[in-house]
Amino acid sequence: MQSRRRKYLWLIFSASWLLLVLLGAPRLRQLAIPPSLRPRTLTSWPRWLDQELLPNFVEPEELTKDPCPPSCSTRQWQRQRPGCLMETCFDTSRCQSHGFKVFVYPVGLTQPISEIHHKVLASIEGSGYHTANPEEACLFVLPGDALSPQLLPLWNGGQNHLIFHLHPGSWPDLGFDLGQAMLARASPKPETLRLGFDVALPLFPQSYPQRGGSRGQLAHLIPPPGEDLLAFESQLDARVTGSSNHLDQTICQPSPRFCLLQKSGPRALGFSDNILLSCFSFQAGCIPVLLSSGWELPFSEVIDWGTATIMIDERHLLQVMGPALQELPPARILALRQQTQFLWDAYFSSVEKIVHTTLEIIRDRIFRAAARPWLLWNAPPGGLLALPTFSTQPGDFPFYYLQRGSRPSGKFSALIWVGALDQPPLKLIQEVAGSQHCAQVCLFPNWRGFPTPTYSHRGVTLIFLLLQKSDRFFPYSAIGTDAILSLDAHSSLSTSGLLSFVVWQSFPERIVGFQTQSHFWDEIKGSWGYTDQRPNEFSMVLMDAAFYHRYYHVLFTHFLPAPLRDLVDELSECEDILMNFLVAEVTKLPPIKVPQRKHCYNLTPGLPGPPRREQPSRDCISKFASWFGHMPLVHSQLRLDPVLFKDQVSVLRKKYRHLERL
């Protein structure tokens, strides 16, 4: 009995022990762990019992009252405030009548100016915005930065004036009162930059090329395996130990994946900026890692630097840089490498590009409604080549169709150069209008004797336009389609025209044509040459039968400087070469060749083909190359044929049968 009771007691005793241990142990354990390591629930912001009854921060009636006392009239409080805004310090009414015209004070007015300022001035004079008449100017540019502007006849407190200050940010400020003048300054201190008014420039050396400049040298979009992760490690060490007084060229060795750039004081600011540029240039695809957030990057008003650089606050560099760089997904590295190259080529490779970018930024501010959207500045071909005078909708440009999910319209306008013919080229018109994609036929130049033709095909009446000007590539507002088919009266077009239009829809940013030519470097003459005797490749298509986007008319007329277009008019020869240069400069790609009905290879001189005088063309091509600063044309070795072209299959299965008989 006792033993039995004892057993029970024992059982109860042990059971209670077990319970005690069970319940107590976790609790004790919890107490044993320091509070910081304990898993715990977040104490969140309370849900108040009466939160529905809380007062509004402002009564709606009070908001709609918001009385505007007489003192809120802008003009009054502007006077009390320092600093400048486009609205307050710039007289945009000067730009209304003549558009954005830039006047440069003659150099003679002031003391001699430096070489770099000469380059700046030449760049302005070479732009389409330059005017020699101060009356029609909207912006006045000072020829240097060391003069007393008060002597200038049109100074007017600096209003509508622009000063290029190209010394590093650490240099002393200008020796005179800036007034309301804008300052385009190389690597400025962010504190002194008047937001939305001044322009931040890159710092560039005196020897910087006027135009052209070296192109980006990225060969590998993907960093090849074994490439160093980071250049400039020694510099980093130097920085950490506090002796960062020399930054040498080693940063720009040819292969690291990232270049570390830093700003450790006002002295280094300009210097680093300089390295930023050289890294862009020499460093094929070396991604800049920028330290310090207090750095006003060049053209940061329009360029989204986050797409091309890795920015790290230098204060927590050591904490985050390693993971930040190593965990960077390959897609981002790929995008960064390409973007650095694009930005370099688009805005920084020459003095001219830097100056033109400055002018375009100011233009965009003045004509806000017609300013470039972000994409135009930050995607190839970039803001200098995407003109907002055409459209501010990226989806209208030939190069942004994919990004915007849009496509060119499915029709084309035929633009036929009739020259001095007595009769309209009816056969050609008939051929062209036979295409279901043809929306308009435009004949030019207008010749008084022409009867206005009427033509109806498959129930569709075509619009005929007789254009007034003799300018082949003028952006006629009457052209209502994205695609233009440029024709000469003597061209002959088979239904191959149809294939070429379908091909153009796949490549809307390029010229799609039939007859091709090739450029080459003539060693003997030391100049560029031009030939159709290298039939295995080509770099230009003739414009007597070619499809292209109507945007190129805008670019041809507004981007190219007047002297270049005058030259073409004079020679009446090289228009199509110039157009090919222009499109290649924009796309960086060759044009596209499609099969044509007749091939005429001048294997033996004297055979047919459009007669060309060799010498003027040769002059053109050299002149164009020197104006562009480099040779934009690119060779291609391929032709786009129909899928079943000349295949061993019944001709009945083929869509483009005409081409089989070539």
Please give the positions annotated as active site: 576
How many amino acids of this chain bind other proteins (CB under 8 A)?
A: 146
Look up residue 176 and give its amino acid.
F
Q: Is 57 in the site for other proteins (CB under 8 A)?
A: yes
Stretch that binds other proteins, among 25-33, 127-135, 464-472, 546-554 (CB under 8 A): 25-33
Q: Is 74 in the site for other proteins (CB under 8 A)?
A: yes
Q: Are 373 and 392 in contact (CB under 8 A)?
A: yes
Q: Which residues between 523 and 562 bind other proteins (CB under 8 A)?
A: 535-538
Gap between the Cα atoms of 307 and 442, Å rounded: 43
Q: Is 195 in the site for other proteins (CB under 8 A)?
A: yes
Q: Is 238 in the site for other proteins (CB under 8 A)?
A: no
Q: Is 71 in the site for other proteins (CB under 8 A)?
A: yes
Beta bridge partners of 380: none
Site string for other proteins, 294-333 (x = CB under 8 A): x---------x-xx--xxxx-xx--xx---x---x-xx--
Stretch that binds other proteins, among 107-115, 217-225, 560-568, 609-617 (CB under 8 A): 217-225
Q: Is 63 in the site for other proteins (CB under 8 A)?
A: yes
Q: For residues 224 and 526, which CB has a smaller minimum distance to other proteins in the complex?
A: 224
Q: For residues 66 and 523, which CB has a smaller minimum distance to other proteins in the complex?
A: 66
Q: Is 605 in the site for other proteins (CB under 8 A)?
A: no
Interface pick for other proteins out of 502, 568, 579, 631 (rule CB under 8 A) = 502
Stretch that binds other proteins, among 155-163, 219-227, 246-254, 561-569 (CB under 8 A): 219-227
Q: Is 81 in the site for other proteins (CB under 8 A)?
A: yes
Gap between the Cα atoms of 626 and 30, Å rounded: 79
* Token representation of residue 39: 């898993």
Q: For residues 168 and 380, which CB has a smaller minimum distance to other proteins in the complex?
A: 380
Residue 112 CB, nearest approach to other proteins (Å): 37
Gap between the Cα atoms of 359 and 350, Å rounded: 14
Q: Is 652 in the site for other proteins (CB under 8 A)?
A: no
Helix (H, G, I), strand (E, B) or coil at 379: coil
Interface pick for other proteins out of 589, 602, 614, 651 (rule CB under 8 A) = 589
Q: Is 335 in the site for other proteins (CB under 8 A)?
A: yes
Determine how many CB atoms are found less than 10 A away from the CB of residue 254. 12
Chain-centroid distance, C-alpha 114: 30
Gap between the Cα atoms of 234 and 256, Å rounded: 13
* Token representation of residue 216: 């980006």
Q: Which residues between 616 and 635 bind other proteins (CB under 8 A)?
A: 634
Q: Is 499 in the site for other proteins (CB under 8 A)?
A: yes
Please classify residue 466 by burial: count the beta carbons closer than 10 Å to its beta carbon, then call 0-12 exposed, 13-18 middle and 19+ buried: middle
Sign of the alpha-carbon torsion through 467, 468, 471, 475: negative
Q: How far apart are the first and last CA of the chain?
A: 120
Interface pick for other proteins out of 99, 157, 179, 190 (rule CB under 8 A) = 190
Q: Are 205 and 232 in contact (CB under 8 A)?
A: no
Helix (H, G, I), strand (E, B) or coil at 513: strand
Interface pick for other proteins out of 1, 4, 32, 56 (rule CB under 8 A) = 56
Residue 424 CB, nearest approach to other proteins (Å): 32
Gap between the Cα atoms of 38 and 591, Å rounded: 68
Interface pick for other proteins out of 1, 32, 37, 42 (rule CB under 8 A) = 42
Gap between the Cα atoms of 487 and 493, Å rounded: 9
DSSP 212: S
Q: Is 60 in the site for other proteins (CB under 8 A)?
A: yes
Q: Is 192 in the site for other proteins (CB under 8 A)?
A: no
Q: Is 246 in the site for other proteins (CB under 8 A)?
A: no
Q: Is 637 in the site for other proteins (CB under 8 A)?
A: yes
Q: For residues 58 and 420, which CB has a smaller minimum distance to other proteins in the complex?
A: 58
Closest of 598, 511, 583 to residue 546, by C-alpha: 511
Q: Is 571 in the site for other proteins (CB under 8 A)?
A: no
Gap between the Cα atoms of 169 and 617, Å rounded: 47
Q: Is 638 in the site for other proteins (CB under 8 A)?
A: yes
Chain-centroid distance, C-alpha 502: 27
Q: For residues 380 and 408, which CB has a smaller minimum distance to other proteins in the complex?
A: 380
Q: Is 587 in the site for other proteins (CB under 8 A)?
A: yes
Q: Which residues between 352 and 411 bind other proteins (CB under 8 A)?
A: 368-369, 371, 373-374, 378-380, 392-393, 402-405
Residue 16 CB, nearest approach to other proteins (Å): 5
Residue 268 CB, nearest approach to other proteins (Å): 14
Look up residue 200 and give its amino acid.
A
Compute the half-sphere exposure of residue 435: CA atoms within 13 Å on the CB side of its CA.
25
Q: Is 292 in the site for other proteins (CB under 8 A)?
A: yes
To the nearest 10 degrees (0 to 180), the angle between helices 575-587 and 551-558 is 110
Ranges of H-type helices in 103-209: 115-125
Gap between the Cα atoms of 475 and 479, Å rounded: 8
